[in-house]
Structure 1
Amino acid sequence: MSEKIIVKIQNLLELAYDAPNDEEGQTALLMAQKLMVKHNLTLKEVSAKQKKENIGETVGTWAYKLPWWQLQLAAILGENFRCKTIRRRKRKEGVTEMIFFGYQSDAELCTRVYEGAILYLQYRLKRLFPTITKARWKDYKKSYLLGFLRGLDDRFKAQVQSSEEFALMVQVPAEVLEEKRLRMGELKSRAVNITVELDYEAYIAGLEHAKETKLMPEELVE
């Protein structure tokens, strides 16, 4: 295999990581994936030619009390950007952090997409609020967010099912899992329980918006 092809893929991936949310970054990631498939290269083979990258963590967000939907959003993104998500309580400061743990470039990319998704949803909710009665708003908001998260998760799953190569690309590397175990031990997972009288209009609106936003996997990795 030509070293020039591998270097080209590495450069495209680096460009994608540097600008994940704009058109140039999305195009670079698309080209890198197509070259890997064309030349029968795995991400592991490409990475083996790169310098050893640090494994660490980034803070996606923090708050005195994290909203349930931000927890679920982080879990969905982490699973599809080669990262483990960790909810860490800092008792002294009285805040909770949402952590992405993985190779530095993966964790940074995941954090950027996560921050962008939060801003997008806050923008959508702000625009929806004046159009819904106060009595209806609480369940409408939850239903909209549930629909959006379902739509986001469905699009990632469809992308993974469409390509075996892509399915391997988004798996959390074994080295990351082992490093997490060594640093943090075995962490318990916590379910997020949501009580809502489902508003189907809001739920469908969330699903539809999940298909449109550029934070979705087709624009990032196809």
Structure 2
Amino acid sequence: MSNREQIIERIKKLLSHSVENGATEAEAVAFALKAQKLIAENDVEDWELGEECKQEVIEATTEKSYSRAWRGFLAATVAENFRCKAIQRQRFTETSSRRKTFITFIGYECDAKAALMVFEHLYAVGNKLGKEHENRYYTDKDAYENFVRGFTQGVEDELAKQCQALMLVCPKDVDDYYNNMSLKQPRRQRAIFGSEHSREAGRAAGRDAVRSRRVEGGKPAYQLA
């Protein structure tokens, strides 16, 4: 078996560690990040991965809705590292008379599905830690918003290192698919009262969230309930 064949097999093995196949959510995220890194480092084409990753542009949408304003910032940050585009869509659901917001990742199948999984996990972590921070620092009017925006920046700090080092770019057909969509401009977010302490606390947590998800990393510094 050639060196490239060994790499392909390793990527396939990493991609097989899904929640559906028995991995925990945290493990699946770690394996997805590692597989994506190997794909980019070795310029692996999707067709080389066979059924594990079809080279067609798809839309992968979250099953649950997201009400917090920072969802778009985090989605865009994750999408860039997975050669995707992220959009927000609103629609009515069977259980609500108000429109709910869902996140959609547009990209090649492996990229879009991995981005969605990583987004959902990091959002859950950031949201949980943000609420805890808000409870501790209730004198900060916008403690939650400052923390989660810092958290997103911390995630971007870590993911950008890989994105820039590997010179990741969004494929042309993904760009074309996105540019041909009819999209509304997202609603402008309200101004918040800045808190450097809350921002920095969130930023450190965001960096650690990505570092601790890597296969080669140490124990996570946070824990989901």
TM-score category of the 2 structures, normalised to the smaller one? 0.7 to 0.9
The amino acid across from 1:81 in the alignment is F
Higher helix share: 1
**Partner secondary structure for residue 62 of structure 2:** strand
C-alpha RMSD of the superposition:
3.5
Give 3-state SS (helix, strand or coil) of 1:219's partner.
coil
What's the CA shift for 1:70? 0.9
State the shift of 1:32 in Å: 7.8
Greater relative contact order (Cα < 8 A, sep 6+): 1
Q: Percent identity?
A: 23
* Distance in 1, Cα, partners of 2:36 & 2:142: 42
Structure 1 length normalisation: TM-score?
A: 0.73
Give the secondary-structure state (helix, strand or coil) at the position aligned to 2:142: helix
Instruction: Indicate if the aligned counterparts of 1:17 and 1:105 stay in contact, CA closer than 8 A.
Output: no
**Alignment match of 1:219 (pick from 214, 220, 223):** 214
Gaps of 5+ in 2: 218-225
Name the CA distance, whole Å, in 2 between partners of 1:79 and 1:31: 16
CA shift in 2, pair 1:36/1:194, >3 Å: closer
Report how far residue 61 of structure 1 moved.
Answer: 5.8
* Distance in 1 of aligned mates of 2:105 and 2:141: 29
Cα distance change, pair 217–190 in 1 and its aligned pair in 2 (3 A): farther
Q: Are 2:73 and 1:75 equivalent residues in the alignment?
A: no
Instruction: Using structure 2 for the length normalisation, give the TM-score.
Output: 0.72
Alignment partner, residue 152 of structure 1: 155
- Partner residue in 2 for 1:49: 48
Query: Pairwise mapping of residues 118-197 of structure 1 onto structure 2 (< 5 A)?
Result: 118-133=123-138, 136-161=139-164, 163=165, 166-168=166-168, 171-182=169-180, 184-185=181-182, 187=183, 189-190=185-186, 192-197=188-193
Deviation track 1:39-98 (CA, whole Å, cap 9, x = no partner) reads xx3123xx24243444221223654x7322111111111111121111223368623322
